[in-house]
Structures are given as structure tokens and as C-alpha cells.
């Protein structure tokens, strides 16, 4: 038993664990401001969905696509900073749908 312990200690001395880069350990490279922007976008998105689902606003109401567009922009900023390309792609489509809805609301096409 003692021999195994010594072998483990010798191995640990010969093969130290790699040092971690503190920047890589962080959850995100985003600053506090960018995190707040992301949370604001998340809250707006949930608010728009909740208000619509609970019947407080219709999807045809101009407020619904405006909330969705603002949420998409705020979330796009957040995911851009994190280089989260799949979510950036999602936010681009989310925003595009909101823009089409706003244009349709004002009968611009």
C-alpha cells in the first residue's frame, strides 16, 4: 500500500498537472455590460412570448414584433461577444422575422 502511494507521488512529481489559463476558465469573455445587455434581451423575449401566450397582446399587435426585434438585437450583441455563431444565426432570423412583421403591420409591402 505504501509502495503504491510512493509511486503515485513520484508520478505526480514527474507529470505535474497542466496549469490552467484563467481566461479560459472563465464562464464567458463578456464584460458586465454585455452580460446585462444579454439578460435584458432574454427578459424582453420572455416578456413578449408570455404576453402573447397569456392573451395580453396579439401577435398582430405592433408591440409584439418590436419587443422581439429589440430582444433579438440585444441577444445578438451578447452572442457576438461570445462568438456563439449558431445562436447569432438564430437571432438574425428572429430579428428578420420581426422586421418583416413590422413592415407588414405598416403595409409597406
- Output the CA–CA distances (angstroms, integers) from residue 37 to 8, 31, 44, 52, 93, in the order listed: 48, 10, 11, 23, 19
Could you report the per-residue pLDDT of 6-37, keeping only the tens digit for each? 666 666 677 666 565 544 435 557 899 999 99
If one counts every other C-beta atom within 10 angstroms of the C-beta of residue 44, the result is: 20
Say how many CA atoms lie within 13 Å of 88 toward its Cβ: 9
Domain ranges of the chain: 28-105
User: Which regions of the chain does DSSP assign to beta strands (E)?
Assistant: none
Q: What is the pLDDT of residue 20?
A: 52
Q: What is the pLDDT of residue 25?
A: 39
Q: What is the pLDDT of residue 53?
A: 97
Residues in contact with 43: Cβ distance below 8 Å, sequence separation at least 6, in sequence order: none
Could you report the per-residue pLDDT of 68-107, keeping only the tens digit for each? 999 999 999 999 999 999 999 999 999 999 999 999 999 9
CB contact at 8 A, 88 and 76 = yes
Amino acid at each position: 500500500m505504501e509502495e503504491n502511494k510512493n509511486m503515485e507521488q513520484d508520478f505526480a512529481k514527474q507529470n505535474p498537472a497542466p496549469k490552467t489559463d484563467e481566461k479560459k476558465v472563465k464562464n464567458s469573455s463578456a464584460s458586465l455590460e454585455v452580460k446585462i445587455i444579454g439578460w435584458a434581451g432574454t427578459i424582453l423575449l420572455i416578456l413578449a412570448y408570455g404576453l402573447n401566450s397569456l392573451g395580453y397582446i396579439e401577435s398582430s399587435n405592433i408591440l409584439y414584433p418590436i419587443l422581439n426585434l429589440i430582444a433579438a438585437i440585444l441577444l445578438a450583441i451578447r452572442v457576438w461577444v461570445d462568438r456563439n455563431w449558431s445562436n447569432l444565426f438564430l437571432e438574425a432570423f428572429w430579428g428578420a422575422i420581426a422586421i418583416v412583421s413590422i413592415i407588414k403591420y405598416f403595409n409597406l409591402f
